[in-house]
Structure 1
Amino acid sequence: MAQGFDPAAATAAYLATLPPEAHAKATAYTQGGHWILLWGTLVSILVSWVVIRSGVLVGVRDSVEKRRSGPWLAVAVVVAVDTLIEALLTLPWDAYAHWWRERSYGLTSRQFSGWLGQQGLSIAIGAVEVVILFSLLYFLIRRFRRTWWAWGSLGVAIGFLVMLLLQPVVIEPLFNSYKPAPPGAVRDEIVAMAKQVGVPSDKIVIYDGSKQSNRYTANVAGLFGTARVAMSDVMFKKDADLAEVRGVVGHEMGHYVRGHIFIMAAEYGLFALVVFLLIDRLFPLAARLLGAKGVRGIADPAGLPVISILLAVVAFIATPLVNTASRWDEADADRFSLEHFNEPDGLAKALVKTIEYRAATPSKLEELIFYDHPAVGTRVRRAMDWKATHPPSPPAANAS
């Protein structure tokens, strides 16, 4: 350990760079978000139940089938109608949870009209994705009645990877403008970092993340030829220096190099295996209890809201498990950043800037259940422990 350096005191000093009222506001936002998770699940269940009781999907199914079309068309039309109806019914809740609340805490400056426009685009894209996903899923149910849940879980893992492949080039440009990072110290440093650890270095971009949120963030997204390093302009509006860039981008590169994308695909596939098996076994009982009149069974697309309710319940119950798996990946990415780029202070400074939307010092139980990243206090302490046993990197210049 470096002589005279106290990791605990250094951690406390970093957390103290925010005043007590800022920490209190962050805690209120974070803990309110736990209730948002619960109420959002209940809203989702209520909306699906309303659609079930209305019988509208049974009517749509019957109307399509009268034309003697095959099951593919019936599935596509019913799924599309259900997706759009449920999206419209949940729109007031989404406006509160994802716009009004974010704005009230100063985490976005976006006007409601801008949020509503992008929400409409998200609904349209989501409807296409859901129609494709459930068309394939219902095909598997028809084709492999006893084992569809196993084939479906494999499809989820593959679909996850396909989406990550397409996301940087097809979906994300619809919401944000991505521009090459201008020549200078930041770009040169990231190119050098990328070459050092084997990350593609030809796509270093900055995007207008402040359009949606005031959150300080960066990411490495895509696979193979679509992989790119993207930094939100919020980083630089919050005066990120080169040490912070190295710490944050090093973390994101860690996700890429450590293969967390493939680990997550396997995790989602395993999760889907369990969920689909439960749905297969519970669907008849759930349909009966929910009063799903006219639904012929699990292969009937008119029963999609029954599946949606089962998915919502299982996902809510599994929240601690899913978040724990995510925390492991995030902690591993922090280790990668420290091991390869040795910027504990840069990483710590960046982490402190995320406290406004993720309280720094939750209880162990709260972190276990609700946090998909390790708590900021924990992450800063790990960075300071690293600093205590490793010599510092050369001083970094300002990035702005």
Structure 2
Amino acid sequence: MALFDPVAATAAYLAQLPPEAHAKATAYTQGGHWLLLWGFLVSVLVSFLIVRSGVLVGLRRSLERRKPRPVLVSFAVGVAYLLIDWLLSLPWSAYSNWWREKSYGLTSQAFLGWLGEGVMSIVISAIFTGLFLVALYALIRKAPRTWWLWSGGLTAGFVVISLLIAPIYIEPLFNKYTPAPAGPVRDTVVAMAEANGVPSDKIFVYDGSKQSNAYTANVSGLFGSARVAMSDTMFKQGADIAEVRAVVGHEMGHYAHQHALWIAGVMSVLAIVAFFLIDRLFAPVATLMGADTVRGVADPAGLPVLSVILAVLGLLGTPLTNSLIRLAETDADNYSLVHFNEPDGLSKALVKTIEYRAATPGRLEEVLFYDHPAVGSRIRTAMDWKAAHPPSPPTAPTP
């Protein structure tokens, strides 16, 4: 009996796609790396234009004409900045988030549908971000020397709140979520959940194909609001029970190990570092941008300055944040393999994600740009698991 070869098995899975499909995926993925730079430059340019226009300073002066109104100014100026920034960035967003996806066959959504969802998204974002800015600028006013230290707790609080309410109030605005229909898939997923301490009453299928043709599932929410959701693209691309077990097992790993809370905690620490640097860099960056009428870091009219600093830090910190997410994704893969033992199901599902995530990047490229482990290495891990956990031989019948 031939020994199972994980290297050969991995190569066989990757060979299920022809070379031209791999080349297309590589072009899409590496083009996406350049989008990080171009998107950064667009955001800096837009922030510079908003500063030079003086529109935020004018709004702040108008609101404070008779008396100081710090809460109103923080909210109104913050919302105005977000809406103006979104409008000026719209051509770039349309190219990078819709036209490019359309040209690679990764979405069938019409432009007006994409635009309508973008409008709804920016309105929701403006409200929540406006509230966050009210709290942030209150911290700056109350503790001008140490506000950055408290910003981590503020950031963590808002992240947790958003995770709690998103599955209930926000995600249903963009997609229709229905309980997984009765049948083998639902029975399988319910049994998996019950066996591993995951709520079995929140397993959904949603119309993800409305926005994207990507083969995907996700876990969202926290505690009682958490749910596992499978995009209908999984089933349109022929997912079988082994794939469902592997993919949903991966998502259950995120839930069971509380990756959302873990990442929120790390992000709150990074927020402290980022806001500390903003506190120190705000004045020189404001001078470079010509923000002469901005009254320092406590002035909401200086949001474009703050955003430029955050954009620089975000670009430089991309390898770090990607690495943090990759750790969670690796752990979720391991959870799926350990608890549900579907290495081939996981591998079959991963092959279907190659079209939007090149399978075999160089190690440096993966570290710098990938927020998931490379598909090739994930399949190899699954095949190594399969080699180390061969199926038990059938038991001989008792005479």
TM-score, length of structure 2 as denominator length: 0.97
How far the C-alpha of 1:67 sits from its partner, in A, is 3.6
- The residue type equivalent to 1:220 in the other structure is V
- Structure 1 partner of 2:264: 265
Deviations 1:285-337 (A, max 9, x none): 11111110210110000001000000000000001111111111100100000
Please identify, of 91-100 and 288-297, the stretch whose mean Cα deviation from structure 2 is larger: 288-297
How far the C-alpha of 1:78 sits from its partner, in A, is 0.8
Whether 2:239 is the aligned partner of 1:237: answer no
- Structure 2 partner of 1:60: 59
Deviations 1:152-180 (A, max 9, x none): 11111121111111110011000000011
How far the C-alpha of 1:69 sits from its partner, in A, is 4.8
How far the C-alpha of 1:391 sits from its partner, in A, is 2.9
TM-score, length of structure 1 as denominator length: 0.97
- Structure 1 partner of 2:134: 135
Change (3 A) 1:61 1:184: same
- Structure 1 partner of 2:93: 94
- Structure 2 partner of 1:32: 31
- Structure 2 partner of 1:50: 49
Secondary structure, aligned partner of 1:246: helix
- The residue type equivalent to 1:39 in the other structure is W
Whether 2:120 is the aligned partner of 1:121: answer yes
- Structure 2 partner of 1:373: 372
For residues 216 and 163 of structure 2, the distance between their equivalents in structure 1, rounded to whole angstroms, comes to 18
Secondary structure, aligned partner of 1:220: strand
- Structure 2 partner of 1:184: 183
- Structure 2 partner of 1:339: 338
Deviations 1:92-117 (A, max 9, x none): 00000000000000000011111111
The CA RMSD over aligned residues, in Å, is 1.2
Asked whether the equivalents of residues 342 and 393 of structure 1 are also in contact (C-alpha less than 8 Å), the reply is: no
Percent same amino acid among aligned pairs? 63
Secondary structure, aligned partner of 1:182: coil
Asked whether the equivalents of residues 342 and 392 of structure 1 are also in contact (C-alpha less than 8 Å), the reply is: no
Please identify, of 340-349 and 192-201, the stretch whose mean Cα deviation from structure 2 is larger: 192-201
How far the C-alpha of 1:59 sits from its partner, in A, is 0.5
For residues 385 and 160 of structure 2, the distance between their equivalents in structure 1, rounded to whole angstroms, comes to 33
- The residue type equivalent to 2:275 in the other structure is F
Secondary structure, aligned partner of 1:110: coil
Asked whether the equivalents of residues 326 and 372 of structure 1 are also in contact (C-alpha less than 8 Å), the reply is: yes
Secondary structure, aligned partner of 1:205: strand
- Structure 2 partner of 1:19: 18
How far the C-alpha of 1:392 sits from its partner, in A, is 3.7
Secondary structure, aligned partner of 1:316: helix
Gaps of 5+ in 1: 395-400
- Structure 1 partner of 2:397: none
Asked whether the equivalents of residues 33 and 369 of structure 2 are also in contact (C-alpha less than 8 Å), the reply is: yes
Change (3 A) 1:393 1:108: farther
Paired residues in the alignment total 393
Asked whether the equivalents of residues 22 and 354 of structure 2 are also in contact (C-alpha less than 8 Å), the reply is: yes
Q: Which 4+ runs in 1 deviate beyond 6 A?
A: none
Matches of residues 104-253 of structure 1 in structure 2 within 5 Å? 104-253=103-252
Asked whether the equivalents of residues 343 and 393 of structure 1 are also in contact (C-alpha less than 8 Å), the reply is: no
- Structure 2 partner of 1:389: 388
Deviations 1:52-76 (A, max 9, x none): 1111111000000014252101111
- Structure 2 partner of 1:398: none
Asked whether the equivalents of residues 158 and 265 of structure 1 are also in contact (C-alpha less than 8 Å), the reply is: no
For residues 74 and 275 of structure 1, the distance between their equivalents in structure 2, rounded to whole angstroms, comes to 23
Asked whether the equivalents of residues 63 and 69 of structure 2 are also in contact (C-alpha less than 8 Å), the reply is: no
- The residue type equivalent to 1:186 in the other structure is V
